[in-house]
Structure 1
Amino acid sequence: MNVKPASEAIISFQGVTKQYEGDPAVLKDVSFEIERGKFYTLLGPSGCGKTTILRLIAGFTEPTEGRIYFNGKVINHIPANKRQVNTVFQDYALFPHLNVFENVAFGLRIKKLKEAEIKEKVLEALRFVNLVGYENREINEMSGGQRQRVAIARAIVNRPEIILLDEPLSALDLKLRTEMQVELRELQRRLGITFIFVTHDQEEALAMSDEIFVLSEGVIQQSGTPMDIYDEPINRFVADFIGESNIVAGRMTQDFLVEFAGKTFDCVDQGLQPNEPVDIVIRPEDLEITRPEDGKLQVKVEAQLFRGVHFEIQCIDDAGNKWLVHSTRRADVGEAIGLTFDPEAIHVMRFNETEEEFDRRLEAYS
């Protein structure tokens, strides 16, 4: 895919490849655009290339091939200190010998601003992250969440055009992590600055993002809003990586009719070849438990776990397909039950379909 930098795009990658000498390419011909004022997430497993994209935007490394545009200008060789970009690192990279005020003021002092201006900017940044009154606190006296706020204050104190966040929540416990997700999202809205967030946590990406880029093996597999990614995964990797999924082999017999698990079902997909092999995705929460005779599928319960808000029920059908069900209804191990679902719950995935082909097919439905 080859894109030209658009006027509304603050960052554009055009055919970017990154390869270190003697190693396979970390990024492979990657092209995308980042619009101003949105919260983006780069999501994928370790080694997929998401942190490399962050480093390329920050200027910590240069692409092997391709071009990177910032506000329409090529920045391949522009050093990091000349870019309107600040980074919040995973370990926060705070100075332990400086207090909160001096950590936030560090970059301003390098620029040799006047003391009154430094004080004004630092206090404004601390207000944004709810740390007014902590100016003289030592870093080793701060909690993990407070340290993260200091790192964010230091990143926003000069109002950069882009803030890069490299898994900054990974060291926090679950409750604090959830709280900081809300705070970060609200902070981005108030500032209006473009945030680019790196994580391997799917729930985190779905909760915080305007748009998500899902990466695997140096390639963007799919991009879109959280709902787009969750409801309409493009391939087996995305469907399996984003949330929990039931993925079974099927065959598209004709428009609006698909076969899997030895039966034929109504669906909402069209535009595929008659009898084309496909993968079928049904999310666990879209399966409803019924009596066996009332179900579209008849299954046997193999295991059940209580997850607080629902039961997680593992089943198997007569064709040997495994099914995961999320239900508020309890089932017993060994029990025969029925499963029913709406045609809209069936998501059909073609093999080797590009994102452009996938988008055209979805547009045809509407």
Structure 2
Amino acid sequence: MSDQTIIRFEQVTKQYDDQTTVLSNVSFEIEKGKFYTLLGPSGCGKTTILRLIAGFIEPSQGQILFNGKVINRIPPNERQVNTVFQDYALFPHLNVFENVAFGLRIKKLKNAAITAKVKEALRFVNLEGYESRNISEMSGGQRQRVAIARAIVNEPEVILLDEPLSALDLKLRTEMQYELRELQRRLGITFIFVTHDQEEALAMSDEIFVLNQGKIEQSGTPNDIYDEPINRFVADFIGESNIVAGRMKQDFEVEFTGRTFECVDQGLNRNEPVEIMIRPEDLEITKPEQGKLKVRVDSQLFRGVHYEISCYDEAGNEWLVHSTKKASVGEQIGLYFDPEAIHVMRFGETEEEFDKRLDAYSEGQDEN
């Protein structure tokens, strides 16, 4: 555990009384001053992790450490953690000032200290002058800021955010993504954010944990997760992708759709069955004779910044293409892609095995 580690899960499992396992032997570390996102579908365990960190529930097995000390049985009010809930959990009968001051009054701080801390928290979230405003008079974005001010006023070391943007409309949600990220940078404290929205996770995070069925499938930077997904689940969940069956011929050569292509992957067995992933934006439309694949256009939708084109090759594989070029339904076109666009995924590979294979490739590139 490094000096920067603030939270550490050691083989944590959570089961409920009906023997339902929502987390299974999960281990990870959270470092100070970073923006983390727990990403995954409903029921994957991400909110359970948040509740375990907050102290609302206890693990069935394993240990949770905060700054090197086990906190399994430490009550929520004694942890240096504050939570921003999905519905914000604001008190409708209190004005903005009293909502933010609530935790400070419980601590029995003097009025002068409370006033100074509340004003400073509201300044951080750009709500100066709103102290007397009723919560019912606030917009969704303003309520969000009040909830964050109430969280930061107690000067926690970690802020937990449980899908706090899900109730906002698309435009406001996008604005709040920028505001939350900027606020985290200014505060310099750890944010742990829960969402099922992959675009939100990619836009805001320093590091992402992708969860599925109570386990962490993969963790890494947004670029790592998007460009180097470990398996079909991660590739499908993070962005759109084309995935077809293939076979590794040898290092830097893979076969799919009946042809052998140059790739950048190595460290897999010869003739090993694999899955091939190519992102839609990495496919370039060309004339049929110039493409690495020949396909026929099945449908086309205009998405504003690009056309979304669905097409099929002769083997019946569907290929999704994002392109600024327009194509005609029924037209035969070619698809060109670079070797770097081909991502080879091994069946059943663990994240540790994947990292070793990726490191081996990186070392080989450095030597070249």
TM-score by length of 2: 0.98
Provide the residue aligned with 1:107 in structure 2.
103
Corresponding residue to 2:283 among 287, 290, 306: 287
- Tell me the residue number matched to 1:30: 26
The 5-angstrom pairing of residues 219-298 of structure 1 reads 219-298=215-294
Instruction: For 2:252 and 2:11, locate their aligned partners in 1 and report how far apart those are by CA, in whole Å.
Output: 37
Map 1:312-323 to 2 at 5 A. 312-323=308-319
For residues 39-81 of structure 1, give each alpha carbon's deviation from its aligned partner in whole angstroms, at most 9, with x where no partner exists. Answer: 0000000000000000000000000000000000000000000
- For residues 322-364 of structure 1, give each alpha carbon's deviation from its aligned partner in whole angstroms, at most 9, with x where no partner exists: 0000000000110000000000000000011111110010000
- Name the CA distance, whole Å, in 2 between partners of 1:90 and 1:22: 26
SS of residue paired to 1:55: helix
1:8: Cα distance to partner? Answer: 2.0
* Paired residue type of 1:355: E
Asked if 1:62 corresponds to 2:58, the answer is yes
- Mapped to 1, the partners of 2:138 and 2:249 lie a distance apart of 61
Give the AA of the match of 2:10. Q
Is 1:120 aligned with 2:116? yes
RMSD over aligned Cα atoms: 0.5
Please list every run of 5 or more consecutive structure 2 residues that lacks an aligned counterpart in the other structure: 363-368
Task: Determine helix, strand or coil for the equivalent of 1:27.
Answer: strand
Q: Structure 1 segments of 4 or more deviating over 6 A?
A: none
Aligned partners of 1:344, 1:101: CA distance in 2, in Å? 54
Instruction: Work out the CA distance in 2 between the residues paired with 1:158 and 1:81.
Output: 11
Give the deviation of 1:159 after TM superposition.
Answer: 1.1
Percent identity among equivalent residues? 81
Secondary structure, counterpart of 1:274 in structure 2: coil
Question: 1:77-156 counterparts in 2 under 5 A?
Answer: 77-156=73-152
Separation in structure 2 between the aligned mates of residue 241 and residue 105 of structure 1, nearest angstrom: 40
Q: Is the 8 A contact 1:6 1:72 kept in 2?
A: no
Displacement of 1:24: 2.4
1:176 is aligned to 172
In 2: Cα distance, 1:270 partner to 1:251 partner: 12
Q: Equivalents in 2 of 1:8, 1:104: separation in Å?
A: 29
CA distance in 2, matches of 1:21, 1:137: 44
- In 2, Cα distance between equivalents of 1:8 and 1:19: 30
Distance 1:326 1:33 in 2: 36
Output the CA distance in 1 between the equivalents of 2:348 and 2:176.
38
> Separation in 2 of the partners of 1:153 and 1:267?
49
What is the match of residue 161 of structure 2? Answer: 165
Among 348, 355, 358, the residue aligned to 1:359: 355
341, 345, 366: which one aligns with 1:349: 345
CA distance in 2 between counterparts of 1:210 and 1:356 reads: 20
Report the secondary structure of 2:182's partner residue. Answer: helix
Tell me which amino acid in the other structure corresponds to 1:21.
D
Give 1:262 shift.
1.0
Q: Distance in 2 between matches of 1:54 and 1:261?
A: 43
In 1, distance between residues paired with 2:256 and 2:317? 10
The residue identity in structure 1 corresponding to 2:86 is: Q
For residues 352 and 93 of structure 1, what CA distance do their matches in structure 2 show? 41
Task: Judge conservation of contact 1:27–1:49 (CA < 8 Å) in 2.
Answer: yes
DSSP-derived class of the 1:26 partner: strand
- 2:6 paired with 1:10: yes
The equivalent of 2:365 in structure 1 is none
Q: 2-side partners of 1:195 and 1:237: how far apart?
A: 25
Determine the C-alpha separation between the residues in 1 that align with 2:18 and 2:244.
39
TM-score, normalising length: structure 1: 0.98
Distance 1:115 1:123 in 2: 12
Counterpart Cα distance in 1 of 2:18 and 2:134: 44
Give, in whole Å, the separation in 2 of the partners of 1:325 and 1:207.
22
How big is each residue's C-alpha offset from its partner over 1:218-246, in whole Å with a ceiling of 9 and x where there is no partner?
Answer: 00000000000000000000000000000
Distance in 2 between residues matched to 1:128 and 1:120, nearest whole Å: 13
Q: Is the aligned partner of 1:39 residue 2:31? A: no
